[in-house]
Amino acid sequence: MVEYKPQYYPGSSKVAKNRKKYMDPSYKLRKLRTISDDDLVKLMGHRVPGEAYKSVHPPLEEMGEPACPIRELVEPTPGAKAGDRIRYIQFTDSVYFTPLTPYMRAWMGHTRYRGVDIGVLSGRVPLEARERDLEKVAKDLVETEIFDPARCGIRGATVHGHSLRLDENGMMFDALRRFVFDKKTGEVVYVKDQIGVPLDKPISVGKPIKEEELREMTSEYRVDGVPFREDKEMIGFVQRLHMLRTEAGFDPNKVKGI
Amino acid sequence: MAKYPDKVDLYDDRGRVFASKVPVEALSPLRNPAMQKIISYVKQCVSVNLEGIEKALATGEIGGKWCIIRGRSLKLDLVKNADSIADSLKSCLQVTKDDDTEVKVLKGGKHLLVKVPAKRLNAGVEYTTGFTATAAALCCTIVENFKVNLWDADLVHAAVWGRYPQTMEPLGGNVSSLLSVPQQNEGMGYALRNVPCAHIALITKKNAMNAAALSSILEQAAMFEMGDAIGNFERLHLLGLAYQGLNANNLVYDIVKENSKTGTLGDVAVSTVKRAIADGVIKPLEKKPSGYTAYTTNDLNKWNAYAAAGLLAGTMITCGSARSMQHCPSVFIYFNDLIERETGLPGVDFGRVAGTGVEMAFFSHSIYGGGNPAVFHGNHIVTRHSKGFTIPCVAAAVALDAGTVIYTPEKISGVVGETLSEVPELREPLRYVNEAAVSIHGGI
């Protein structure tokens, strides 16, 4: 058997390497800030900190499950076991050198976390999971290097802003003004939760990452950064895949050794 | 003489080997007697909601919700007399005394499971005979047994047939079949694809392996009927049905087992690639400057079957660990993205499953609303594009849900799923198809 090691992502550019790094679950994401559990719960706005998890069905042990070999085999997540509701955290990522592109959120989310439901839309990426599982995942998503306080937004609704110019403080536009730049501390502060409901106390998510650092960390191809077309290996990968899909649709038996 | 050289080992839903080196053609809808029986039963078996008819007659609410004819009602004890109705219905439907007609009384007389004799279907060209014969015979039976007069017979007709023929389908009727009326099929050969996943999950009593198997049999049989599984494409579908739907070589079960405790969707993609390399289905083509290795294959049909089996395993891990059906469209897109990036080879159905996932995600999650996965089927406008490789995974996801949706499979399926789960071949298709494959093995 050929020695096989998961490779996650093709491409020779810096951006491709960053993509590969974030998607590889053996790479530990750098923690850049600490957000308390209670603050995170407040930011998402699904329950009040300390409040018991609401459930959508009884705990699995109580309700009993149908006789199914797959249910017997597959260990439910803690949230599923308890019958938690399914809740979400949603992000908007600016087109200006944020650590993750929308698609990267899905690829990375599925290689790192179990039992998650991620969708990619034009300007927003929701991640849904059982509530207590979601809180665990959300911690990673907000506390580590894949989140830039100024250019990533935690936005449940009115997500618009990913493709607009940054303001004078380098902040992504937010029609609901959920986050503000505190000039005194140099930190980004959330004054509303992800839906836009005002918070009792502002929550700081730390200082924005510097532009030059972001340019090193980003997984976005950009003409004024690392252009997609300059990553020949990546372009070759996409073109080959397109060719194989098309050839296979014509006659799968003719696709041999190419 | 077999057309294709492929042989597979057969396993049951718990990963126990059943038979070795069975030609893949023994698992073809064109050859396997159990599959043909399943397809026949789908046409022949019809469910009757006697309790519903009784209620409709008592209240005058006939032909759909809120459609009440004031002052018109009939008090008939149908449920109490279910046994005698069943006997009369059977003799009315029988062509000859010893034919295969069956009428089974279920739930203390509330429901009937009717099997219309094959002879009636053989004497026509439409699968609707199952429905029409049952509905018409039931009207005759009720009118006869309960001495309904000329002036009330129309009420019985409306309670049984619903608003049909004013509506295209029997709206508000109390006789139902797995198959929809032909006008609701998206194109030629779509009939077997027009079965919502809610029915499949309930018929198989929420056993995810059997749900996937039944769905795969119906989808892939439809591929033959649609004109997809023929010529250059026949082997693609045969291998897909065997590996994804019927757990050939225990591929699905093995991958699920390997990732059952902590595995992510990404881990499932990696396990699938590992197995494909180990079995010689794919091999390295070239190493790129970055160190990335692109893979190639000499058998794209088999690679597709492996990827399809991985897709089902990925659904079972993701939807299974969350005990939630809503995750499945996300699996369809990103499992394929991940496995394509892992190998450089096309994902399941050469991109069609990923595309289906994008649409299904929108129609099951977004501002559009749409519905939960239980309402989707292979004839649905947003999930019909993959050639039989998506819907088995949706059926498995619905089976694995612990109760996260507002409109439950039970509510969507109504009487049909529950009633048809009484048919052993539909409830446990994996077992019966395996047995049948072994029985014809020598002939291929």
Question: What's the one-letter identity of residue B254?
Answer: D
**What's the token pair of residue B254?**
């093995």
CATH 1.20.840.10 fits B7-31+192-443, yes or no: yes
pLDDT digits (tens, 9 = 90+) for B389-427: 999 999 999 999 999 999 999 999 989 999 999 999 999
Q: What is the DSSP letter of B180?
A: P
**Among A53, A63, A74, A234, the residue to mutate for chain B (most B Cβ within 10 A):** A74
Helix axes B208-226, B33-44, angle to 10 degrees: 90
The pLDDT assigned to A137 comes to 98
CA A147 to the chain's CA centroid: 9
Residues of chain B with CATH 1.20.840.10: 7-31+192-443
B425 close to B277: Cβ distance less than 8 angstroms = no
Instruction: Flag if B233 and A244 touch (Cβ within 8 Å).
Output: no
- Which among B339, B317, B342, B193 has a CA at the least distance from the CA of B261? B317
Q: What is the CA radius of gyration of chain A?
A: 21
Q: Is the pLDDT of residue B367 over 80?
A: no
pLDDT over 90 at B443, yes or no? no
Of B11, B368, B407, B432, the active-site residue reads B368
A86-93 and A125-130: which strand pairing? antiparallel
CA angle, A65 then A66 then A68, to 5°: 110
> What is the β-pairing status of strands B7-11 and A117-118?
unpaired
Partner A contacted by B273 (CB < 8 A)? yes
Tell if the CB–CB gap between B402 and A60 is shorter than 8 Å.
yes
Instruction: Copy the structure tokens of residue B156.
Output: 């019985």
Exposure string of A57-73, with b = 16+ CB inside 10 Å and e = fewer, is: beebeeeeeeebbbbeb
Give the residue from chain B lying closest to A157, CA to CA: B367
Under 8 Å between Cβ of B433 and B25? no
Instruction: Among B233, B274, B326, select the one facing A4 at the smallest CB separation.
Output: B274
- Angle at alpha carbon of residue B116, lines to B112 and B119, rounded to 5°: 170
- Picking from A56, A70, A125, A235 by the largest number of B CB atoms within 10 A of its own CB, the best residue to mutate is A70
How many percent of chain B have pLDDT more than 90? 95
Dihedral sign, Cα of residue A12, residue A13, residue A19, residue A20: positive
- pLDDT on residue B395: 98
What does the pLDDT read at residue A3? 78
B249 — pLDDT class (breaks 50, 70, 90): very high
pLDDT at B371: 87
* Max intra-chain CA distance, chain B: 86
Nearest to A8 among B207, B318, B342 (CB): B342
Measure CA of the first residue to CA of the last residue in chain A; give whole Å. 20
Report CB contact under 8 Å: B297, A103: no
User: Cβ B350–A65 below 8 Å, yes or no?
Assistant: no
Q: What's the distance, CA A128 to chain centroid?
A: 11
pLDDT higher than 60, residue A1: no
B87-111 burial, b at 16+ Cβ within 10 Å, e below that, comes to ebbbebbbeeeeeebbbebbeebbb
Cβ–Cβ below 8 Å for B300 and A60: no
In this predicted model, what pLDDT tens digit does every residue of A15-46 receive, in sequence order? 999 999 999 999 999 999 999 999 999 999 99
Q: What pLDDT shows up at residue A2?
A: 55
Q: What is the pLDDT of residue B369?
A: 65
**Closest residue by Cα to residue A94 from A191, A23, A183, A170:** A170
Distance in angstroms (rounded) separating the CA atoms of residues B387 and B33: 23
Q: In this predicted model, what pLDDT tens digit does every residue of B178-221 receive, in sequence order?
A: 999 999 999 999 999 999 999 999 999 999 999 999 999 999 99
Give dist(CA B428, CA B419) in Å, integer: 14
- Average pLDDT of chain B, as a whole number: 96
Residue B111: φ, ψ to 5° = -125, 155
Measured CA to CA, the distance from residue A144 to residue A29 in angstroms comes to: 6
Taking phi first (over 0 means left), then psi (-120 to 50 degrees means alpha), and beta for anything else, what does residue A186 get?
left
Which of A63, A76, A248 minimises the CB distance to B350? A248
Report the SS3 class of residue B205. Answer: coil
Q: Among candidates B28, B1, B84, B3, which has minimal Cα distance to B248?
A: B28
- Nearest Cα neighbor of B400 from A117, A69, A56, A118 is A69
B156: helix, strand or coil = helix
Q: Decide if A47 contacts A53 (C-beta within 8 A).
A: yes
* Interface touch A70/B256, C-beta < 8 Å: yes
Mutate which of B3, B13, B336, B350 to test chain A, going by most A C-beta atoms within 10 A?
A: B350
Cβ-based neighbours of B82, under 8 Å, separated by 6 or more: B50, B105, B108, B109, B110, B112
CA–CA dist B131, A45 (Å, integer)? 51
The number of angstroms, rounded, from the C-alpha of B112 to the middle of its chain's C-alpha atoms is 21
Given a contact cutoff of 8 angstroms between Cβ atoms, the answer to whether A227 and A109 are in contact is: no
Model confidence at A234: pLDDT above 90: yes
Identity of the residue in B15, B334, B351 whose CB atom sits nearest the CB atom of A245: B351
pLDDT band at B441 (very low <50, low <70, confident <90, very high): confident
SS (H, E, C) A147-199: CCCCCEEECCCCCCCCCCCCCCCCCCCCCCCCEEEECCCCEEEEEECCCCCEE
User: Which residue of chain B is at minimal alpha-carbon distance from A24?
Assistant: B266
Q: Mapped to the 3 state alphabet, what secondary structure does chain A carry?
A: CCCCCCCCCCCCCHHHHHHHHHHCCCCCCCECCCCCHHHHHHHHCCCCCCCCCCECCCCHHHHCCCCCHHHHHCCCCHHHHHCECEEEEEEEECCCCCCCCHHHHHHHHHHHCCCCEECCCCCCEEEEEEHHHHHHHHHHHHHECCCCCCCEEECCCCCCCCCCCCCCCCCCCCCCCCEEEECCCCEEEEEECCCCCEEEEEEECCCCCCHHHHHHHCCCCCCCCCCHHHCHHHHHHHHHHHHHHHHHHHCHHHCCCC
Residue ranges, CATH 3.30.70.470, chain B: 44-177
Q: How far is CA B317 from CA A23, A50, B258, B262, B299, in A?
A: 19, 31, 10, 9, 27
Tell me the two tokens of residue B389. Answer: 């490789």
Q: Answer for the pair B343, A242: CB distance below 8 angstroms, yes or no.
A: no
Taking the CA atoms of chain B, what radius of gyration do you get in angstroms? Answer: 23
Instruction: Pick the closest to residue A14 from A209, A237, A226, A228 (CA basis).
Output: A226
Q: Strand pairing partners for B293?
A: B287
Q: Which two tokens stand for residue A245?
A: 């899909």
Q: What are phi and psi of B17, to 5 degrees?
A: -70, 140
> Is pLDDT larger for residue B64 or for residue A193?
A193
Rounded CA gap, B441 and B19, in Å? 10
Beta bridge partners, B8, equal B22
Q: Which CATH superfamily is domain A14-53+85-225 in?
A: Methyl-coenzyme M reductase, gamma subunit (3.90.320.20)
Evaluate whether B378 touches B219 at the Cβ level (below 8 Å). Answer: yes
Give the model's confidence band at A147: pLDDT under 50 very low, under 70 low, under 90 confident, else very high. Answer: very high
- What is d(CA A185, CA A202) in angstroms, rounded to the nearest whole number? 13
Cis preceding-peptide flag for B165 (omega within 30 of 0) = yes
Q: Rounded to whole angstroms, how far apart are CA atoms A132 and A46?
A: 11
Q: What is the predicted pLDDT for the residue at A212?
A: 97
Sheet with A198-204: strands ordered across:
A179-182, A187-192, A198-204
Residue of A nearest to B237 (CA): A252
Per-residue pLDDT tens digits for A184-221: 999 999 999 999 999 999 999 999 999 999 999 999 99
B323–chain A Cβ distance below 8 A for any pair:
yes
pLDDT at B87 over 80: yes
Q: Compute the mean pLDDT over every residue in chain A, rounded to the nearest whole number.
A: 97
Here the tokens at position B242 are 């065997």
Per residue in B89-98, pLDDT (tens digit) is 999 999 999 9
DSSP B69-111: -TT------TTTTHHHHHHHHHHHH-SSTTSS-EEEEEGGGTE
* Confidence category of residue B130, pLDDT binned at 50, 70, 90: very high
Strand A198-204, strand A187-192: pairing? antiparallel
Catalytic-residue membership of B368: yes
CATH of B44-177, one of 3.30.70.470, 3.40.50.1440, 3.30.390.50, 3.40.30.10: 3.30.70.470
pLDDT bracket for residue B368 (50, 70, 90): low
What percentage of chain A carries pLDDT values higher than 90? 97
